[in-house]
A and B are shown apart, each in its own frame.
Chain A
Amino acid sequence: MPFPVLSSILLSPVIGLILILLTPAKQENLVRAIALLSATVTVALSVYLCAIFNTADPAFQLVEHVEWVRSYGIHYSNAVDGLNLPMILLTSIVIFCGVLVSWTVTTRVKDFFANMLFLVSGVFGVFMTTNLFFFFLFYEIAVIPMYLLIVIWGSTNKQYAAMKLTLYLLLGSALMFAGFLYIYSLPGAQTFDLQTLKQNVSFSPEIQNILFLGLFLGFGVLAACFPFHVWSPDGHVAAPTAASMLHAGVLMKLGAYGILRVAIYLLPEGARHWAPVIAVLSLCNIVYGAMVATRQKDLKYIIGYSSVSHMGIVLLGISTLTPLGLNGAVFQMFSHGIMTALFFACVGFIYDGCHTRMLDELGGLSKQAPKISAFFIIAGLCGLGLPGMGGFVAELLVTLAAVSVYPWIGITSITALLITAYYVLTAVQKVFYGPLREKSAHLEDVGFLQFFPRAVLVGCLIYFGIFPQVFIQWISLSTKTLLGA
């Protein structure tokens, strides 16, 4: 039996979690070290995974299969293809940086890292499983620790935000749950295995339309699709830094990934039926998210709404149902994940130093703390789509596809980029330039330990911005297969 890379990536945070639970709460440094070690292992394994991934094979690779509950068609099965490979890499990078960034957490250290590792094992599970039972199981595992992370370590209206986020996301997952069970009950199904379902079940057009709608709504909540995005800015703002990084960087991608992996894979006709609606909703995301961001006073809210806007680009790419658009969507999922993690890592640092995130109370940080300013500005430039950054390539692909499929929507989405440029540059100008304010006067710039994780994120943004073909090579065959081309 070959070395089970995927299961090892999944088990690494699980083992870390168990070890942390067994560690006495007073040994804070040991807890941190365990978390860092298991995160490092996942990064190493994901990079190894990328290295051995065969870009010429459109089918599932490195399949691991264990029968779990035979009578209900529940199997523990993992596989990797072009869609989830970048997501696994993204998750491991973000958790690695997240652990380093939260080195400064001092309250209930053990509980904090235990929750982080629990959450991230759920995320890995969703990205690699090919069975609907485990998909749902890991999906909820990824959502629940978020409640505790926000409610214990959060800020700004945390109780309200945590409950709102949890109930919204679980309402979405309830729809998924019902949808999955309905698929199970269809004639010829009686299994939760994705590939068997694809082969054995013929979904009639009516069923495809209804099911796709249900699943899309379910996943759409987590992907922050308009009008179900309202939980996301509140949640991001209230969460502690590392949780925001994971949440905006990785968790929201679960929703988009679910649309690709489950909804479009099983129900291509339904997807075609609803694609124009998704396109319109995603345009609302892009324009509305950007417009609301221009009116925000809190730096974290700006990034929260920019995430809503950027997730709109992912959904727009998906709604084109062309290889070009899907490539762009997956690319955007990755680059937005890295970018927004960088954003939150910077804002978290500024908030820890200045105890405020209000634009009016900050100013002149670029002289006081040039490194953190540079990081934030790089993330901002990526956000507004500067060439040479990952975000540029992704947005270009999506826009090209959108203009050819839905000309009007595509053109309108381009104009929204101007709004993005406006709010990003305004925020940069207010926070980092101008006179030094009282509250920001005592901010000390990042030391090496805090410099390193942020530098890793910047490195990824620039690497994939300059060499996008590496990324496109991974995914292009899989997106084509997904669309049946």
Chain B
Amino acid sequence: MDWTLILPETALLLLCVLLLCLMLIRKTPAAGVLSPLMGIATAGVGLAALWSFGFSGILFFSTYRVDLFSQCFKLLVWAAFFLTVFFSRSLHEIDDGRRLEYYFFLSAAALGMMMMASAVDLLTLYVSLELASYSLYLLSALKNRGRDAEAGVKYLFFGAAASGVFLWGASLLAGISGSTSLAGISENIHGLIASPASLVGMIFVCFSFLFKLSAFPLHFWAPDVYESAATPVVNFIATASKAAAVAVLARFLMFLPPSPEFVRALTAIAFASMTLGNCVALWQEDVKRLLAYSSVAQAGYILVGLLAAGGEGFSSAIFYTAAYVLMNAAAFFVVSRVALDSGHDNPRLSHFDGLAERSPFLALVLLISLLSLAGIPPLAGFTGKWILFSAAMDKGHWFLVLWAVLNSVVSLFYYLTLVKHAYLEKPKEGLPPMALPLAARTVGLALCLSIILLGIFPNALISLAQEAVLSGGLH
């Protein structure tokens, strides 16, 4: 077996083991030591992910597939992981005594998400899904306050229920086809694709993925968890977890082309996600809740690409996911700085007042990330939406596209409200300018530049995504 194929996973696993051993000997290094060490370790994982980029092969009795598709998503998950570790430097919401646990669960979740990108068997899919999920449940409840535990428990219960439904659906699919590998199911299910049992099986399996994507009607955990978890954790859930969900959903739909009924169900879900997410976001005062509902709406846009299927649909969904990770990370970057500055874990709209005067740079990062989320050119979010909707329109989903476009206009209202607070309102009396360390400045600048450059020069990533889709399918 060629170990280089799973180099990034191995690196993450070693990191987990190391952290676990440190936990066992109950020796927590000081925060000033741990953060840089984690940074170096994360960079090492990144190198591993880059090293194995472009490799392909099938491992573990055909349950695990390494190809361009999976490696793209692993890089994406790594990028989100790296940013989260970086944001965790200024983590004040979790006790110092729990730092090791925090990083352990973070690495374990990242490992699970990377495995999700490669899983091509219902069982590996389930194991990796659970590895990622349980780590996230614990992460989101690590903050030591009653109400936060409530959100964590809610997340856990609904997540566990979604897993149960997944198993039920998986048992139906395996029962019909006599196989647990996606390729085997796809081969044997041909005549039965329209049968109610396979339809129910597919919908139930997808339930779990949609839960992770926080699409309607499985979105209700998102606002509570976003509100109560520590900001870097929310960033991780909003970026890496979404990317992994898109990976499994795309892989699943590539192997088992959906029947018209299933497409109709996805259409309804996309429609409802966009509408509900955008409408409810209009009324939010808490910025993290606002971003949670915005992520529900964004899940709807991504579904538009996924249900269009085909090379263009999947590749545009991949492109948009990459853009989404960048712009969401940029938004949470600003939120975490504002939270740190105001000493308030849940910054409200009013905490952003006068940001442009107190830190023009942060205000610019916020402006770019929000406009990109709203789909304003020349940013990555715009180009992503353009190709997503082109692909869907090409498949004849004109009504859904029209609705999505109108939704983008609605979303602009609440994004602009936040911009207005940052640029228009006066800062409260006596607040000093916000200081920004050089490292944070660099990361912010890199995020902004990548959002702009990806928007203006999308060709390289679009081609890469198209190749990835070709490599990730059945043949």
Contacts and interface: CB of A to CB of B under 8 A. Distances in A.
A binds B: yes
Interface of A: 25, 68-72, 133, 136-138, 140-141, 144, 147-148, 151-152, 159, 163, 166-167, 170-171, 174, 177-178, 181-182, 184-185, 190
A167 B462 contact: no
Contacts of B342: none
Contacts, number: 74
A178 B385 CA distance: 12
Given A136-B377, A159-B424, A170-B412, A71 B466 contact: yes
Nearest to A73: B390
Contact of B423 (A69, A141, A148): A148
How many B residues are at the interface, by size bracket? 20 to 34
A182 B424 contact: no
A136 B424 CA distance: 28
Contacts of B423: 148, 151-152
Interface stretch (B21-29, B65-73, B134-142, B392-400): B392-400
Contact of B463 (A71, A174, A190): A71
B409 A167 contact: yes
Closest 3 CB pairs of A and B: A137-B377, A181-B393, A185-B393
B458 interface: yes
A18 to B, nearest CB: 11
B394 A185 contact: yes
Contact of B412 (A159, A166, A177, A181): A166
B377 A140 contact: yes
Contact of B462 (A69, A141, A152, A163): A69
Nearest to A168: B409
Interface string B380-418: 001000110110011010100110011011001100100
Contacts of A170: 408-409, 412
Nearest to B424: A151
A178 B360 CA distance: 35
Given A167-B413, A178-B401, 9 more contacts: A69-B387, A71-B463, A136-B377, A151-B424, A171-B406, A174-B408, A181-B401, A185-B390, A185-B398
Given A25-B360, A151-B424, A141 B378 contact: yes
Interface centre among A70, A159, A181, A190 (most CB of B within 10 A): A181
Contacts of A159: 420, 424
Given A144-B371, A166-B416, A185-B398, A133 B409 contact: no
Interface of B: 312, 360, 371, 376-378, 382, 386-387, 389-390, 393-394, 396, 398, 401-402, 405-406, 408-409, 412-413, 416, 420, 423-424, 458-459, 462-463, 466
Contacts of A184: 390, 393-394
B405 A177 contact: yes
A144 B463 CA distance: 29
19 contacts: A69-B387, A72-B390, A133-B386, A136-B377, A137-B382, A138-B377, A140-B377, A144-B376, A151-B424, A152-B423, A152-B424, A159-B424, A163-B413, A166-B412, A171-B406, A181-B389, A184-B390, A184-B393, A185-B398
Nearest to B408: A174
A167 B396 contact: no
Given A171-B409, A178-B402, A140 B382 contact: yes
A276 to B, nearest CB: 27
B371 A178 contact: no
A152 B462 CA distance: 37
A152 B422 CA distance: 11
Nearest to B403: A178
Contact of B390 (A68, A137, A148, A181): A181
B381 to A, nearest CB: 12
A68 B409 contact: no
A174 B386 contact: no
A437 B393 CA distance: 62
Nearest to A175: B405
A380 B376 CA distance: 37
B289 to A, nearest CB: 22
Contacts of B396: 185
Contact of A141 (B377, B409, B459): B377
B157 to A, nearest CB: 39
Contacts of B360: 25
Nearest to A140: B377
Given A177-B405, A185-B396, A151 B376 contact: no
Contacts of B413: 163, 167
Nearest to A214: B402
B297 to A, nearest CB: 15
Nearest to B417: A163
B424 A167 contact: no
Contacts of B376: 140, 144
Contacts of A148: 423
A65 to B, nearest CB: 15
Interface centre among A25, A141, A144 (most CB of B within 10 A): A144
B360 to A, nearest CB: 7
B408 A69 contact: no
Contact of B416 (A138, A163, A174, A178): A163
Nearest to B396: A185
A136 B371 CA distance: 15
A68 B394 contact: no
B200 to A, nearest CB: 32
B53 to A, nearest CB: 22
Contact of A167 (B393, B394, B412): B412
Contacts of A181: 389-390, 393, 401
Contacts of B390: 72, 181, 184-185
Contacts of B462: 69, 71-72
B393 A151 contact: no
A25 B371 CA distance: 23
Given A174-B406, A184-B393, A185-B393, A71 B398 contact: no
A69 B459 CA distance: 5
A325 to B, nearest CB: 32
A184 B402 CA distance: 14
B176 to A, nearest CB: 35
A181 B378 CA distance: 18
A220 B330 CA distance: 36
Nearest to B389: A181
